[in-house]
Amino acid sequence: MAKKRPQTKADRPQLSDAEVPVVGAREPCPCGSGRRYKACHGRAAAHAVTELVQRPFEGLPGECDWVALRELVPAATAELTLKDGLPEDVPSVTLATVLPMAWPALRRDDGSILLGLQNDTASGDLSRDLADTLQRALQAQPGTPVQGRRAPVGGPRLQDLLDLQAPFEPVVQSGFEFWVPDAENATPEVTASLERANAAAIPTARLTGVDAAYWCETPEKNHLRWVMPHPEEQLLDALARLHAAGRSHLGEGTRLVGSFRAHGLTVPVWDLPSGVTADDVEKPAAEFAERLAAALAATEPLTPEERRARGGLTNRQVTLS
């Protein structure tokens, strides 16, 4: 019998982990290892998809407002400043809570970019997904939306792309007309999406005297939802001290009813009478901030009454993300 000739393999270019593209799980891994993708670099990709980053906006200016715009505010925008500056053909980059047809991003006809925040993402790192969308929007043709996809493993995060010294200043909008510069000439699809979004939007306002506190109006009662940066356990202790002392309110007829947990931060929520406006709650909120600062500085153990108040607040906590 003829002897089998030894198999020889052509030299393949070596790829770094960041350069290995995503392929089907059963396909050969593009790195050239000879193994299937799922048994090679696909393991790291799968882990990156499922690993949840608890505080995706940590380190960004205005982290609390990022959380509010992601989870609480229907219509708002904020100008973003890139660390390396804008390309010549991109006049501006604007963060928006929602875009028409739930697009992840939109490159307008004039080259400006709208980046959507309230979209489903494919991985557990919202910051990485948004950064990937932003990078693709910078390369998109004017007048085109950017579609969603799974961000490459090891890609940059918003913290890598944005200027961390630039302020983050959200502007709450009364509707979604900011989507298009000329709403009268929008396509029927965009017009229909705009009408649906405006009909569903809850009137919302950002307080000016304290950070990341948002008033909203609902048919039955109004609310104040205040995203706070303090560690959760410390904040709950402080709220419990104030609640037990009858000092957790924001004025007559108002009541601290619980809190949300969102992207690693805690969001206390107050019920307000329907007649209480955002302007009405400005002074009480500033006064509450002073009481809270004192309660946060307290170090003595909680009293039995304070522990009961804390248990009530914890039982009424809802996780949004």
Q: What is the pLDDT of residues 238-265, one digit of tens each?
A: 999 999 999 999 999 999 999 999 999 9
Strand positions, DSSP E, the chain: 76-80, 93-96, 105-107, 113-116, 144-146, 171-172, 204-206, 213-217, 222-226, 255-262, 265-272, 317-319
- 23: tokens are 């392929």
pLDDT for the residue numbered 180: 81
Strand order in the sheet with 113-116: 144-146, 105-107, 113-116, 93-96, 76-80, 171-172
Closest by alpha carbon to 215, among 304, 135, 257, 276?
276
Q: How far apart are CA 292 and CA 113, in angstroms?
A: 39
What residue ranges of the chain have pLDDT lower than 50? 1-13, 48
- Percent of the chain exceeding pLDDT 90 equals 72
pLDDT for the residue numbered 33: 84
Q: How far apart are CA 183 and CA 77, in angstroms?
A: 17
pLDDT for the residue numbered 172: 98
Contacts of 12 (CB under 8 A, 6+ apart): 32
